[in-house]
Amino acid sequence: MADSAEILLIINPSLWFKPMYPSGIMYLASYLRLKGISVEIIDGAIAKKIIPVSEREELLINTIMRKKPRLVGFSASHLEYDEVSRINRKIQEKDGSIISIVGGSQPTYRPEDFIQSGFRFICIGEGEVTLYNFVLESRKEQSQWSSIKGLIWKTPDGTIVKNPPCELMGEGELNNNFLPAYDMVDKRYFDFNAGIIRGLLMRGAMILTTRGCPFKCSFCGCNLIFGKKLRKKSIEKIEQEIDFLKNNFGVEGIWIIDDTFTVNREHVAAVSRILKKYGLVWGCQSRVNTIDEDMIRIMKENGCIQIDFGVESGSQRILDEIIQKGITIEQVKNAFQLAHKYAIRTLANFMIALPTETLEEFEQTRMLADQIKADVYIFSIATPLPGTRLYELVGVPITPDEYNSLNWVGSPLTKRLNKSAIEDPVKERVGLQKKYYFRSLVKSFLSIENIRFFLSKGSKIQRTMSLFKYVKRIFK
């Protein structure tokens, strides 16, 4: 007799220790639980001592096998393709009757890779409804997999079937499932974690207040997951979530993980006021063309301390033709000026070595970086994620076994993928990062908010430890 829940959802399979909790899996777990399905989250990392990767993987597999689940669900970014596929194959070898399914960003972008790697079932896009229907169908003796919207699957004779996509949940449904299963993950995720709002030594949490993004940047596949239309959680539910986080974990700050928080003015104002009511500092991702003085003023008055902007390039041509971002350099300058005026910390994301980028255009990027005077700078080497339009624009095939070396600081693939005039993107990135990053790190550690946190009662040791851990991670 199995001693586990009907479905186990696996996080942090092995190699990638994520210092933040995985909202996707937690939303799936809470949705299934609301529908009366027993579900458990198994975390491969946080609750364990530091042990070698291979042993950690064994431990995870043994834990799964011991629980004898009927179903196992994995989530994967491209970086987790390898490990998730390997763990799944090992589980299948040990017990072929376990039904496993994978979902998340990379399976949505390129499901066929996961079929090749041994998965029989892939969930495309938003997962709650598809997973629920999948669990119900799996209980039947003769499961009709073709009835599950949002599923791509393989028949016993090896045919790959693509079912129609699943309708996205309406706002009512988002509100019913407003609270991700915070109680099913280790409480230490909410301990002092300087990574939540870069450099702040506080107890923090991430929340998702909207789903969907109306923009179409070529490097991002987000709207393949949640669509283009913005769907909002109600303010009452957002308040209940914040109340829960404050009362249960004593959070002091919030990072809003919406793709673009500042799309809807009324929503921004209402959420800001709730955050202020709970005395929290907070930050969000924004866009230079969805923000204006009125909005920034409201955000500042209500405790916003950091806004992240995707600037990407100083060349208007690159922004228009390659990134297809829909922003102008003037809007970039204006947004940073406004944030400075209201003393909100800014984080600027840039990409270098975009396809067709000339040396003059790279110089324009450097100049823009100097002009906007951001507090934190992140320079990434443009990385075409398979399944995105940027990947098509670069036009160089990347095989699945190369996925986990695809990263933003440079990789064995960088040379092959470089379709710009910049000869050595790795060297250029290091130079830029050195010029800005360490200065900005020191600046953020010495920010007023941090000093205030540090001087507040208790927890000085934990706050200091969190600083060390954060710096160690950066240098790694």
* Residue ranges binding ligand B12 (CB under 6 A): 16, 18, 20-25, 27-28, 73-75, 77-80, 101-106, 109, 123, 126-128, 130-131, 206, 208, 220-222, 225, 257, 259, 385, 408
Nearest in space to 333 (alpha carbons), one of 306, 286, 369: 369
Q: Which is nearer to ligand B12, 228 or 373 (CB)?
A: 228
Q: Shortest approach of ligand B12 to residue 262 CB, angstroms?
A: 14
Q: Which is nearer to ligand B12, 7 or 369 (CB)?
A: 7
Alpha-carbon distance values, 392 to 33, 412, 462 (Å): 40, 20, 46
In sequence order, the β-bridge partners of residue 153 are 121, 161
Q: Which is nearer to ligand B12, 77 or 316 (CB)?
A: 77
In sequence order, the β-bridge partners of residue 355 are none
Q: Shortest approach of ligand B12 to residue 337 CB, angstroms?
A: 26
Q: Which is nearer to ligand B12, 115 or 123 (CB)?
A: 123
In sequence order, the β-bridge partners of residue 11 are 43
- Beta strands 204-207 and 253-256 are parallel
Q: Shortest approach of ligand B12 to residue 15 CB, angstroms?
A: 9
Q: Which is nearer to ligand B12, 310 or 314 (CB)?
A: 310
- Contacts of 159-165 with C-beta under 8 Å, sequence gap 24+, read 160/112, 160/115, 165/124, 165/125
* Tokens describing residue 86: 């390997």
Q: Shortest approach of ligand B12 to residue 253 CB, angstroms?
A: 15
Q: Shortest approach of ligand B12 to residue 406 CB, angstroms?
A: 9
Q: Which is nearer to ligand B12, 16 or 438 (CB)?
A: 16
Q: Read off the amino acid at residue 259.
A: D
In sequence order, the β-bridge partners of residue 281 are 253
* φ and ψ at residue 275, rounded to 5 degrees: -60, -40
Q: Which is nearer to ligand B12, 20 or 269 (CB)?
A: 20
Q: Shortest approach of ligand B12 to residue 362 CB, angstroms?
A: 20
Q: Shortest approach of ligand B12 to residue 311 CB, angstroms?
A: 15
Q: Which is nearer to ligand B12, 28 or 318 (CB)?
A: 28
Count Cβ atoms within 10 A of the Cβ of residue 67 and give its class: 0-12 exposed, 13-18 middle, 19 or more buried: middle
CA-CA distance, 43 to 29, in Å (whole number)?
13
Nearest in space to 300 (alpha carbons), one of 288, 289, 292: 292
* Tokens describing residue 35: 């529908």
Q: Shortest approach of ligand B12 to residue 54 CB, angstroms?
A: 19
Angle (CA) 201-431-433 rounded to 5° is 20
Q: Which is nearer to ligand B12, 101 or 329 (CB)?
A: 101
* Tokens describing residue 307: 């806004």
- Beta strands 304-312 and 253-256 are unpaired
Q: Shortest approach of ligand B12 to residue 222 CB, angstroms?
A: 4
Q: Shortest approach of ligand B12 to residue 364 CB, angstroms?
A: 23
Q: Which is nearer to ligand B12, 179 or 371 (CB)?
A: 179
Tell me the three state secondary structure of residue 205: strand
The residue length of the chain stands at 476
Contacts of 195 (CB under 8 A, 6+ apart): 19, 20, 470, 473
